[in-house]
Amino acid sequence: MALFSPYALGATLYMPATRDDIVDVVFGDKIPELRSLVVCLEDAVALIDVDTALLNLRQVLTRIQDRGGRPADGPLLFVRPRDAAMARILNDWPLMAHVDGFVVPKLSLTNLISWEQAVTNPALALMPTLETPEVFNPGAMVELGQALKACLDERIIALRIGGNDLMGCLGLRRNPAMTLYSTPMGYVIPMLAGVMGAQGFALTAPVFEQLATPDVLELELALDMTNGLVGKTAIHPSQVNIIQNALRVSLEDMNAARMILNSVAPAVFKYNDAMCEPATHYKWATHIMERAKWHGVLPAPASIMDASIRLAEAVS
């Protein structure tokens, strides 16, 4: 299957499968700026409501089919099953042709085989979520990454970091005035970015569950971008534009990336008082260009617009 770019995810909004306005979001009548939507049958649905949620999901997909399928400019659509047994059932629904893939909750080495056996439809992409106690162990993450590369690699768009569940493993909840990086997640997120990123996986950032402090969300997003994360879960529609604006690329990064990717670039050169080395910075530059493709470029600050742009120069 041909996977789309993980940068296409942008802000990912989760909606309980019991909601009656899912179709409105799918067709852009609500939250038209949304890039990706997850219909959740797991933590967002109480056990007593599972049957109702499954029925509602079937009705949602039937309505999509009756309208000739999803719009080309609508959000990507994923379903998060409750467990591998539920995924096995959904995997065989013909109506899943209108879904891009599954979000796999609480993936670990102990249940990987069950998920591999359940999600056999090759047309469905996968986004495993890292949210179990094993995630705190770098060795376990190396092993999980290797196992994923061996069995499901070609279907994985990105790995999602389940911040709330991981904090729950420690009996913690974030301080609303602080970013997640001020908690033990300040160790976990960079560790996962290194361990899983080195194996070729893209990762998305945990949710920011506070609505009254968008300034702290912006600080957290800056740290997410610093760690190379490609998107972020949104808890509320009001966060969507904030997240997607943070994914936009600065003009200076865009220009540096273009110069690094230029086939005639020097082996080492200086641009805007920073050293650029194409052999070292090539992958960073490709990521910047991909982010810009999906999210655009930030307007240049006045200081750059007013001054002449400094040209790249070879380092002698």
User: Any known ligand binding at 165?
Assistant: yes
SS3 sequence, the chain? CCCCCHHHCCEEEEEECCCCCHHHHHCCCCCCCCCEEEEECCCCCCHHHHHHHHHHHHHHHHHHHHCCCCCCCCCEEEEECCCHHHHHHHHCCHHHHHCCEEEECCCCCCCHHHHHHHCCCCCCEEEEEECCHHHHCHHHHHHHHHHHHHHCHHHECCEEECHHHHHHHCCCCCCCCCCHHHCCHHHHHHHHHHHCHHHCCCEEECCCCCCCCHHHHHHHHHHHHHCCCCCEEECCHHHHHHHHHHCCECHHHHHHHHHHHCCCCCCCEEECCEEECHHHHHHHHHHHHHHHHHHCECCCCHHHHHCCCCCCEECC
Q: Which residue ranges make up the annotated binding site?
A: 165
Q: Which residue ranges make up the annotated binding site for Mg(2+)?
A: 165
